[in-house]
Structure 1
Amino acid sequence: MPETKPRAISQQETNMNLDNTSPTVRRGPEELVPSRYAVRVGEIDVLVVSDGVLPLPTEMLGYNADAATRAAWLNDMFLPSDAFDWALNVVMVRSGNQTILIDAGLGLDPNLNLPRAGQLIKRLESAGMDLASVTDVVLTHMHMDHIGGLLVEGVKDRLRPDLRIHVAAAEVKFWESPDFTHVHMPPGFPDALRATAKRFVEEYRSQLVQFDEEHEVAPGVVVRRTGGHTPGHSVVRLASGGDRLTFAGDAVFAVGFDHPDWHNGFEHDPEEAARVRVRLLKELAATGEQLVATHLPFPSVGRVAVDGDAFRWVPVYWDY
């Protein structure tokens, strides 16, 4: 498989505009960390954008694991034992004449008090991207950290009136009466998730394009329902010119390579989510294609290798 050439872009460096592959130099807001990273998959342009970070208890990584085992993994990874920052990654794709936003970040709900998250809209603007250029949105699922950016005040008015929002029909159905029986979330999260999903459907119902199992959004851009994390959770596969990349949404977390059987607190069907994770990681290891996921450390671009009974994450070398 031909090697793709990813490219890191910081806020102080050249901006990439998916409407024009010739970069334009424009000074963006001052930030100390890079927040976008460009990859080319054949003829498809991909821009990974950081929506910021979400602080959560470390127990959320594997609440079914023995506490001492979980603590040992965190220690081996040089991570804090009580809480750490989950990355929030969103992907913008340009295929042919379509510009596709895959997930939309957390948004800026003042009741959440999460000032370091919800950065997507600001960072798209810093990248020189006009929201009106987005022709399609693909939702991996409807948790609030994947749809909230479209609920930020003023955003809907800046989007195209003919915007298509692609989402699995099973996901829309689930949020009509969501089941939180098997989750292990911090207090308040179920109510917030339920309320955000309800508001989102009310705001965007007429623009939803629902599919059952698999759906082609644009040339080389296919969304496929996996279930597990939520009943309609989906992954997005990009393929062009022999290159491939999968955006896995919440099917894969950082701990999932070493311990794919650990249950994440946000999984509505944790046992099925673990089966989905193992199948997907095996597939990615076999194909050698690149992986991006919502909660892997930014820019979250890498590959998967089999490591005994588990897996190994192989991040790309940044190409400046």
Structure 2
Amino acid sequence: MSLAELRDGPLDDAAAFGGQGEVGDYLALLKPRVMSLVVFTALVGTLIAPSGIHPVLALVAILCIAIGAGASGALNMWYDADIDAVMSRTRSRPVPSGRVAPGEALTFGLTLSAFSVGILGLATNWLAAGLLAFTSFFYAVVYTMWLKRSTPQNIVIGGASGAFPPMIGWAAVTGSVSVESVTLFLIIFMWTPPHFWALSLFKRGDYEDAKIPMLPVVAGEDVTRNHILAYSVLLAPIGVAPWLLGFASPIYGAVAIVLGLVFVVHAITVWRRREGDEARKAAVSLFKFSLVYLFLVFALLLADSTLAPLVSALLPGGMA
């Protein structure tokens, strides 16, 4: 379906008569699958922050971050309905399919954004709320409305929006930004380009059809593979940084080193396999492993923070 056909079809019908969306459609606007990993990293940032926070306030903080992230997804779907209709993996979303009217998606996103920022500020502190507001603005306006359609570096700069949640969680507990929270930010920031460029390699046709200037479309697949390898090599030591900076144990450091090396091996495989089905399989494999990598790094940080005090207490003299 072309952009013109979309405007004359589902979007026009939805705008004129209102969407026929059900609860599930509005939940889909929040991009729950995409945002689940974002929310998990925010949870880790909240739970490993020093001094701790009351469990109820921690729950409120995580819910606010989740709602704010979902609201950004709704605003993204509202603005990107035209190109979503062209891409095979997004054309069934609620807005391009006509199940939710564009205006309804916009109102839904703006309302949830304001609600999540306000409640987070009242429940924790206004630094965390300000970071959440900035993250939503950055994703919905800077990335979605500007970068995504204008530069092949869209995912590099725009990736910052997905890297803020653990920093928001940390700020909700401590009321500050620290080296530790910046490190968590950097892990996600450096992870984002190879993750999405791997996706863009095996979904290049979609981006071409939607006229999105992703790196493979603008600079070619070989340049994209070079960039993936470079960012993967940079990511590996940053993933180990929590141990090097002293807020994670040597066990975390050892596992992070292994995970980083596996990530680089996947990137090298993508760099070497440049044609045919083998090239596609390598890109898919890197994309899937990148999800595992980010989850394991943050899960290990959480386990390390939770178990280290327990192990220390059980050691001889630990209970003295």
TM-score (norm 1): 0.31
Q: 1 or 2, which has the higher strand percentage?
A: 1
